[in-house]
Homo-oligomer: A and B are copies of this chain.
């Protein structure tokens, strides 16, 4: 017997037939003698509709009332799934955020999870009852509904698994696991059987959309064993686990790409202390997230060029902020390029294996792809290239690191 948290996303519960399908999968785990909590998202499309309504009413809306509106989506699916389970003879009961209670702070729209009281839920497990839990929502200190931000249901599931001391947290989705790279780019992409938290975290934050970054960080922090698997096929997925559980380590585990990047270069920035602080401090104050940063060596000892990347949606705001600083800083020009893509190779094996970056640079050079910016961490090398070469670069690197399904992987 194990205690399992199962999580189904919006596509998996998008119609009443799919909800019945989810109920059958849950019943399989119950029949195997497991204690089960199921976390569900809203039916696909629902949250977008609810968000659109709030925008129609008021462009700048109160996050507290926004949360009331959008949290209704998960309320529908927990009720329907509980009914579907009961219809299969499974003892089931729905739980909303405020009923558990699933406590969060009061930052509406992107609340952080606090204490989750599982006393009653554990008691119901002993009576053979399945808990059907609304993802994405909690209750704040002022007794009002909070939500965790888009994609928050993954995080709800992992947090609940941690609070329940669950043996496993299974994240059901519309793909059957985590791949060495996006299968839409190369048919040679392979499903990864086991991946470490650190690698998953890098892949998620570098553009792989399978799991929400925040949920991976939480799983790592609490040691929750996460499995990513398909809600439509009946086969094992990808296990996200501690490094120690992985016997044979690949040097590179996966290749991610992030097309929603824009490059900004400040030309002729005076080369004196405090300038970088002024620039990135102002951008941070305006909630512009800066990723890669490169500062060239000053040629004349007086001025230099400063290049960095921001999310495409933040580009306009970044321009505004920088133009406001022009008088103070005295740079000569701003040049920006929205047509860039960040490619990252990720693997814990590169800690002990040198030459990973070299392979990357040589592979891209051999295809005539110019590297604009480079950034590295302990288990990741990222480069910025022209977005036109995205697919070519991903395919070449996938082959170069021996990840191809027909290769030596």
Known contacts A53-B16, A68-B96, A143-B99; A58/B79 CB under 8 A: no
Q: A20 near B: Cβ within 8 Å? A: yes
A57: chain B residues at CB < 8 Å are 16, 19-20, 80, 83-84, 87
Task: Give the residue name and chain of the B residue nearest to A143 (CB).
Answer: B99
Q: A72 near B: Cβ within 8 Å? A: yes
Q: Which of A59-67, A227-235, A321-329 lines the interface with chain B?
A: A59-67
B80, A94: Cβ atoms closer than 8 Å: no
The interface bits of chain A over 69-96 (1 if a CB of B lies within 8 angstroms of the residue's CB, else 0) are 1011101101110111011000001101
Known contacts A16-B57, A53-B16, A98-B98; A72/B62 CB under 8 A: no
Q: A50 near B: Cβ within 8 Å? A: yes
Known contacts A53-B16, A80-B53, A80-B57; A86/B65 CB under 8 A: yes
B68, A75: Cβ atoms closer than 8 Å: yes
Q: A399 near B: Cβ within 8 Å? A: no
Q: How far is the CA of A11 from the CA of B375 in the complex (A)?
A: 57
**How many copies of the shown chain assemble into the complex?**
2
Rounded to whole Å, the gap between the CB of A406 and the closest CB of chain B is 45
Which chain A residues in 131-188 approach chain B with CB under 8 Å? 143-145
Q: A56 near B: Cβ within 8 Å? A: yes
Task: Give the residue name and chain of the B residue nearest to A62 (CB).
Answer: B86
A58: chain B residues at CB < 8 Å are 83-84, 86-87
Q: How many residues of A contact B (CB 8 A)?
A: 38
Task: Give the residue name and chain of the B residue nearest to A54 (CB).
Answer: B83
Q: How far is the CA of A96 from the CA of B71 in the complex (A)?
A: 12
Q: Top 6 nearest A-B pairs by Cβ distance?
A: A69-B79, A68-B79, A58-B87, A16-B56, A72-B72, A72-B75
26 A-B residue pairs with CB within 8 Å? A16-B53, A54-B79, A57-B80, A57-B83, A58-B84, A58-B86, A58-B87, A61-B86, A61-B87, A62-B82, A62-B86, A65-B80, A65-B93, A68-B78, A68-B79, A68-B94, A68-B96, A69-B75, A69-B76, A69-B79, A69-B83, A72-B72, A72-B73, A72-B75, A75-B75, A98-B98
